Amino acid sequence: MDIKGMITDRAYSTYESQLEKEVRSGDMPGHIAIIMDGNRRYAEEVLGEAPVEGHRLGRKKLEEVLHWCLDLDIKILTVYAFSMENFNRDTDEVDYLMDLLEQSLYEFADDPDVHERKVAIKVIGERSVLPDRVVKAMEYAYERTGDYSDHVLNMAIAYGGRQDIACAVRAIAQDVLDGKVDVNFIDEDTVSRYISTTGMPDPDLVLRTSGEVRVSNFLLWQLAYSELYFTDVYWPGFRHIDFLRAIRTYQQRIRRFGK
């Protein structure tokens, strides 16, 4: 019998319970955005497996984190699922990731908890560069959950923050040419109405796993006043206690918004 392990597990369980109680008593972020990083390194360094195993476990972790958010009644979860730069990876890896994304969209759209909690499944990004099977899965998720508004799972697929802003600028320019927008009245609110997350509040907390300390072209417009949190835990190994620590850190910060 591993007595030391049992004592450690019990100590962690007690700490987690206390931490969760503390977090639940504080102000909860309404919108959390996550850069899910470290799948390949987790597979290779922790498991001694091929990188694809890390992606498979990362997909399962997203399902867990969604339910953690629902349990705390966090309204919006936005995740960086696949960047435009990710297309530069090996073709076999990209194809595998596309398969996982397709599977995830169908499974989330059919998840009973998603329907019970009325979670809208949305995708932001450049759909024109995605395989037809992924686009069909996106459309299926929208058809199944598009009428919901209590919670949102926002998946950034084939997404880039600079691309997002450029698309908004093109759309505004076209509406100026068409006489729908007066160029003299373009301001921050105008851009926000044309950005991919229009209608949603900006993230309160942006979290990145894996130890990297950068935002990697994610939600560049939207994170202007977000609280940033970086953890050295790889995404598949991200625990509930790590999630609670991130939220507690957010709660301990004073958000002045320049005031």
User: How far apart are alpha carbons 151 and 30 in whole angstroms?
Assistant: 10
Is 184 labeled as catalytic in the residue annotation? Answer: no
Verify whether residue 86 is a known catalytic residue: yes
Per the residue annotation, which of 71, 86, 164, 217 is the catalytic one? 86
Selecting among 2, 27, 37, 178, the annotated active-site residue is 37
Query: Which residues form the catalytic set?
Result: 37, 86
